[in-house]
Structure 1
Amino acid sequence: MTTTGAPADTGHITKKLSTLDRYLAVWILAAMALGLGLGRLIPGLGRALDSVQVAGVSLPIALGLLVMMYPVLAKVRYDETHRVIGDKKLMITSLLINWVLAPAFMFALAWIFLADLPEYRTGLIIVGLARCIAMVLIWNDLACGDREAAAVLVAINSVFQVIAFGALGWFYLQLLPSWLGLPTTSAEFSVWAITLSVVIFLGIPLVAGFLTRTLGEKARGRDWYENRFLPKLGPFALYGLLFTIVILFALQGDTIIAKPLDVARIALPLLVYFAVVFGASMLIGRGLGMSYERTTTLAFTAAGNNFELAIAVAIATFGVTSGQALAGVVGPLIEVPALVALVYAALWSRKLFPSTLAQKEMK
């Protein structure tokens, strides 16, 4: 896809997605329904899943989490970082939005919308700390953003999460609430538990993804790797996500059926988050004089969240049947239609960028 697609392309966004990605919301709903059904039909499922654990997470779920993270990280072009890191305006702005403003905004939304539901509130804060490294590459490409910039920001977010996620979790779940006179997260919280889960469920697939790309390109070349290998590997990220959702909903079934309004209450702040963070990032990029392509990349990497990691951290730290885990699971269901809508919004906004208009006039 070129970086300046014709306006007519906006009517065919979903057609550019693969069948799996196009109906992602449908697959997630189906996985939820299947999980609910299994939970009702197999009462002893929870005990069976918890019989073998990895870092406090049942082995089947741990495998699902690793499977859904690995293909995403194998897509990143790690050797392209030098081409974008030199753009200090983009890098500083992205780091500021991703690691200061966006988590702080999610913290505020969690307390505004879920002040009386501490488990969901904590889950939402964890979601805000998990910066997007997954489908942002798809949304960015559909919106004609800068592919290489997106790849670099994804790589930086991946590494930064391994290093800083635990400390940020401690800050937003314990230190900041205590400063503000708010209740802190229960004693179940452990910065080391969060750090360990991030190292396992992000660090391992990050190293595996880097090695896969490096060795794959060295052996067969980039064209083979990206056009033949990645299309076969890519769907496993969705398979892993759906498998994890099935198991989670099998264990969360009674809570979901008994409290459907709680799910709606988790969804509302997520919708507000996507709209406000995306819109603010577009305005900031435009105000700083960035091109449409890089502004769009900035906005999508800021607005999207790494729900896979949030789910992994919530399960490992608070348990598979916790409200924190449920808050993470609701995320992908809301994110997919929200970010598809934001792709249309981004393409519409191209007329607000003089450089993009100038390129169109030259054609």
Structure 2
Amino acid sequence: MTQTLNTADAKVVAKLSTLDRFLAVWILAAMAVGLTLGRVVGGLNDALAKLEVGGISLPIALGLLLMMYPVLAKVRYDKLDAVTADRRLMILSLVINWVLGPAVMFALAWIFLADLPEYRTGLIIVGLARCIAMVIIWNDLACGDREAAAVLVALNSVFQVVAFGLLGWFYLDLLPQWLGLGDGQGLDVPVWHIALNVVVFLGIPLAGGYLTRRVGEARLGRTGYEQKFLPRIGPWALYGLLFTIVILFALQGRTITSQPLDVARIALPLLVYFAVMWFGSFAIGKAAGLAYDRTATLAFTAAGNNFELAIAVAIATFGVTSGQALSGVVGPLIEVPVLVALVYVSLALRRSFRGDRQATPTSRES
């Protein structure tokens, strides 16, 4: 049986494009290119930082739109009712994202960075910013439920607007005082800024994907749309991902490479956080009886974070050279390679779900 499965895997892998087959290599290369550009090209990070509107980086926004649009154009929006009717998935996602996630990051920040208050605060802010963007890519690569991912990131976006400021006050001000950990640090975040972040990073590509699906099916039919149009735009999701990674690390290349010991201190609790959140959520989803695709979606939406919002809030509140901003920058440095690795872990664990066929990251139908 094992030999048969391995043979099937080999056949699928042999059909993958060069981009798909060596995805992890390209992502690591994009990170290296971004860090090098930010370090070597004088003034590049300053020039990129100036390309902002309302605190939103235009290059990053462009990359995320390119990344998310093809995946959201693949979503079967007529199936969303089946997702919202799954109360187990919806409740688990809310509890894990908005109760457990921030609490886990708060605990890890104090355990690992008790002597470094600026970095500690930055990590807590990262924990409060639940993922609404890049998780779409990780979920799709892991053959998660696209429709469930669309619903859960939309749910996160609503709670992000409503709860981010309140949770910031609780974890950065009230709770530290209750626990006798000293005076807290306030977090004054305008609701409009969070709402703008949600609109740019989720609303625009979601609207584009929905309209494309409706118009495409009306003109080409569902079969023509899925077999002819989607394969043409599919690769742009990964192109957008690589572009975003280059820009992110070019923006902060000099900061990251000039403070390696501080980066290592911040990276350790982040590694623990991603492992705890992903494996814990995956185990909870499986124990709750969810199918593999929704279990994977639950795990990736729980482990990912909205580092764009976290960085923007840290810079706006504490300054671009602050330790809080550095913690936000280190977030994607750790998150990107870790979640890419977890895509392959997720696919390996798929074998443990009865009735689920094997798959590789890109063997899923377009």
Identify whether the pair has TM-score above 0.5, normalized to the shorter chain. Answer: yes
Runs of at least 5 residues in structure 2 that lack an aligned partner in the other structure: 357-366
Match of 2:170 among 175, 181, 196: 175
In 2: Cα distance, 1:235 partner to 1:119 partner: 37
1:1-363 matches, within 5 Å, as 8=6, 15=13, 18-115=17-114, 116=116, 117-118=119-120, 120-122=122-124, 124-126=126-128, 128=130, 130=132, 132-139=135-142, 141=143, 150-180=145-175, 181=177, 184=184, 189-288=189-288, 290=289, 292-293=291-292, 296-297=295-296, 299-305=298-304, 310-319=306-315, 322-330=325-333, 331-347=335-351, 349-350=352-353
Tell whether the 8 Å contact from 2:139 to 2:146 is kept in structure 1 after alignment: no
Deviation at 1:135, TM superposition (A): 1.9
Q: Tell me the CA shift for residue 41 of structure 1.
A: 3.5
Relative to structure 1, the CA distance from residue 123 to residue 239 in structure 2 (aligned partners, 3 Å threshold; closer, same or farther) is farther
Which amino acid is 2:338 matched to?
I
- Whether the 8 Å CA contact 1:68–1:238 is kept in 2: the answer is yes
Change over 3 Å in CA distance of 1:314–1:21 after alignment to 2: farther
Distance 2:336 2:129 in 1: 11
> Quick one: which amino acid aligns to residue 246 of structure 1?
V
Aligned partners of 1:74 and 1:40: how far apart in 2?
Answer: 36
Structure 2 CA distance for partners of 1:236 and 1:120, relative to 1, 3 Å: farther
Distance 1:133 1:63 in 2: 16
Moved more, 162-171 or 82-91: 82-91
Tell me what 1:144 maps to.
none
Change (3 A) 1:276 1:12: farther
Greater displacement, 56-65 / 198-207? 56-65
Q: Distance in 2 between matches of 1:336 and 1:107?
A: 24
User: Contact (CA 8 Å) 2:55, 2:312: kept in 1 or not?
Assistant: yes
Whole-Å Cα distance in 1 between the matches of residues 129 and 21 of structure 2?
A: 23
Q: Distance in 1 between matches of 2:229 and 2:105?
A: 37
Identical residues among aligned pairs (%): 46
Residue 362 of structure 2 is matched in structure 1 by none
- TM-score w.r.t. the length of structure 2 is 0.77
Matched position secondary structure for 2:229: helix
Question: Scaled by the length of structure 1, what TM-score is found?
Answer: 0.77
Deviates more, 1:227-236 or 1:112-121: 112-121
Partners of 1:294 and 1:64 lie apart in 2 by 26
Does the 8 A contact of 1:286 with 1:295 survive in 2?
no
In the TM superposition, structure 1's runs of 4+ consecutive aligned residues that sit over 6 Å from their partners are none
